[in-house]
Structure 1
Amino acid sequence: MIRSWLISAAAGTLLAAGSVGADAASLTLYCGADETWCQQMARGFEEETGITVDMTRKSAGEIYAQLKAEASNPKGDIWWAGTGDPHLQAAEEGLTEEYTSPLMSELHDWAIKQAETGAHRTVGVYSGALGFGYNKDLLAKNGLPEPKCWADLTKPEYKGQIQIANPNSSGTAYTMLATMVQLMGEEKGFEYMKALHKNVNQYTKSGSAPIKAAGLGETTIGIVFMHDSVAQTVAGFPVVTVAPCEGTGYEIGSMSIIKGARHLDEAKKFYDWALRADVQSKAQEVKSFQLPSNKAATQSKAAPDLSTIKLIAYDFKKYGSSEERKRLLKKWDDDVASLPQ
């Protein structure tokens, strides 16, 4: 009888322990920023809250596609970072949850406007301007002129010298596509993309990969967000960052809670935490040079000054809509990617 009681007690203890483990607070994070920044955010939240974070890093377009594929059985809880256009598309398609953080009043107007555009299913967490960077050593070695404008990148002397990401997987490259359409008009914008195609040596999956390749001397020019180019320079690579003379588009990196999140309370905690000024100020520690959305956050002196860059009036509502993104991406696949190089 005593033996039976001991066995029952031991079994009860194991069941209780299993129950505690099953109920332990956790969060599944899909991250669209650079790997080091993603790790900083995941580990920082874990350390402060005790909530275990399972983080996956992918490009914004890939995360959107994953949300779409997992819609009937969501596996992620929150999507942090990556360009705002696919976040807005996900919001429009009901793939993300409506949530308004109590920290909204601390944010810049552009971050709040992003939330309003997405019916409060997303919010701006940082901003950054599109541009390009070049390896000055390779440029000199090949006797190439310094590119200063978008138009320069289509010149025949840069054939095989340029990398840009694929806009289907990369939010950076989609921003480039949408920027050209808004800057030049759709017909001329696509003519530009066709001309640029002749000089591209590789379409990468990740938006920041082209400038990393330029830093390593694997390509001469990388089309990226300017903060990613600055990061290469700060890291000691011979990269020069360019704000194109004609003007350029920009991103509002965003954050969204995934519809049907299994750990909704934890997702909301992360959402509020990620909007705090002290958390956003830490980005510079991992060499991320975006403009933070919290007005009280600090940024590195090395970061691009958006007030000195000629920015277009980027229409986030239109180019973040599901219909427009699908249409432009299909047109790029049909009219640009299909062409020989």
Structure 2
Amino acid sequence: MNLKKLFYKLAAAGALAAAGALAAAVQANAATELTVYTAFEAEDLKRYAGEFENANPDIKVNWVRDSTGIVTAKLLAEKSNPQADVVWGLAATSLLVLKGEGMLQPYAPAGLEALSPKFRDADAVPSWIGLDAWVAGICVNTVEAEKLGLPMPSSWEDLTKPVYRGHLIMPNPNSSGTGFLDVSSWLQMFGEEKGWDYMDRLHTNISRYTHSGSKPCKLTATGETPIGISFAYQGAKLKKKGAPLELVFPREGMGWDMEAAAIVKGTDKLDAAKKLLDFAASRKANEMYNQGYAVVAIPGVAQPVEFYPENPESLMIDNDFVWAAGNRDAILTEWQRRYDSKSEAK
């Protein structure tokens, strides 16, 4: 072989080796893609996603967002062929249902010991962790209420009075986590028989049921309805923006649920999924949750939220999440049989 041919052969071999090394480096540095299902409010998701992705540039997240009921139904429908790697920002009652179906991967995230015991699965290695608590509340448009001569309610029972007929909206519990926490909390507060009786009387005054938990308060803020049963965070946020809203925290107590997170069993991105759970349990994340939620998973982190009561935890009912999750299907079936005629079109 002459020198010229030898030179070209060595050059080609070197190029191939360099290309192989470059491909290996690119593959090593390529972002791991995670599919994350969530029911976070859109504006919250934007903040949370930005913080996580900035801290973990090696992970690319494909977000799939919808209301609580829709996300829960999607996960259950995909049980035999899971499409999600992680759930971040879904009601704890929904995650308890998924746990019961054997769909969650137990994992103890870094910092687990800092979480309040009520903000985590009770197992030694938890299948889910809580993030923050969102509580029920009533949004009243003070301008529209005055026009219509509606008194300011102070209790759940007040909302069944004839004066409010046709002036209330609330979320459908089949599609909204807020709607489900309302219904399950009334059944716990009043007892099942009296709880359904209460909802029968309330139904008389409902103009329609929405498929979003935040929508009743949003529509109240714009004056499209005088009163919306929603959740307190949404009302406080809209009031801060200048909406003519009064937030009512009913004296019987407030239903609540936790936004929670878990790894979906069977994911082949387990290391990246664990990083997301570590972040979700972190103090940094809890400080983010506290921008809108007055109660978060790590005690001592939460600062007061404007327009909330001074001690919101004192108004939160003793919610039996296991009972609510175990009876979820029966509750939703009965609710739909009784009241779905007033649900808005999907």
TM-score of the alignment, normalized to the shorter chain, above 0.5: yes
Could you say which residue in structure 1 is the equivalent of 2:110? 102
Distance 1:140 1:262 in 2: 57
Q: Once the 2 structures are TM-superposed, how far is the Cα of residue 263 of structure 1 from its aligned partner?
A: 1.8
Q: Return the alpha-carbon distance in structure 1 between the equivalents of residues 66 and 124 of structure 2.
A: 22
Provide the aligned length of Structure 1 versus Structure 2. 335
Partner of residue 43 from structure 1, selected from 43, 50, 53: 50
Residue in 2 that maps onto 1:317: 322
Partner of 2:229: 223
Q: CA deviation at 1:291?
A: 1.2
1:260 aligns with 2:266: yes
Give aligned-pair identity as a percent: 31
Aligned partners of 1:52, 1:105: CA distance in 2, in Å? 28
AA aligned to 2:73 is A
Match of 1:293 in 2: 297
Output aligned runs, 1:181-330, within 5 Å. 181-285=187-291, 288-302=292-306, 303-307=308-312, 309-321=314-326, 324-330=327-333
**CA gap 1:186/1:119 in 2 versus in 1, 3 angstroms:** farther
Bigger Rg over Cα = 2
Which structure 2 residue ranges, 5 or more long, are not aligned?
none
Contact 1:91–1:119 (CA under 8 A) maintained in structure 2 = no
- TM-score of the aligned structures, taking structure 2 as reference length: 0.87
Q: Report how far residue 308 of structure 1 moved.
A: 6.6
Once the 2 structures are TM-superposed, how far is the Cα of residue 166 of structure 1 from its aligned partner? 0.9
Q: Is the CA contact 1:77–1:261 (under 8 Å) kept in the aligned structure 2?
A: yes
8 Å CA contact 2:87, 2:262 repeated in 1: yes
Contact kept? 1:150, 1:244, Cα under 8 Å = yes
**Contact map agreement 1:247 1:311 (CA 8 A) in 2:** yes
Which amino acid counterpart does residue 127 of structure 2 have in structure 1?
A: R
Q: Name stretches of at least 5 consecutive residues in structure 1 with no aligned partner.
A: none
Task: Output the amino acid matched with 1:160.
Answer: G
Cα distance per residue 1:69-92 (max 9 Å; x no partner):
222222211111232111111111
1:20 is aligned to 2:27: yes
Other structure's SS at 1:81 match: strand
Q: Is the alpha carbon distance of 1:69 and 1:184 closer, same or farther for their aligned partners in structure 2, counting shifts above 3 Å?
A: same
Work out whether residues 132 and 289 of structure 2, in 8 Å CA contact, stay in contact via their aligned partners in 1.
no
Alignment of 1:109-120 (within 5 A): 109-112=117-120, 115-116=121-122, 120=126
Match of 1:261, as an amino acid?
A: T
CA distance in 1, matches of 2:109, 2:99: 16
C-alpha distance in 1 between matches for 2:279 and 2:321: 25
Distance 1:127 1:55, change over 3 A: same
The verdict on how the C-alpha distance between 1:119 and 1:148 changes in structure 2, with shifts beyond 3 A counting, is farther
How far the C-alpha of 1:137 sits from its partner, in A, is 0.9
* Cα shift readout 1:301-329 (whole Å, capped 9, x = no counterpart): 414444574332211111122xx111111
Q: Match for residue 179 of structure 1?
A: 185
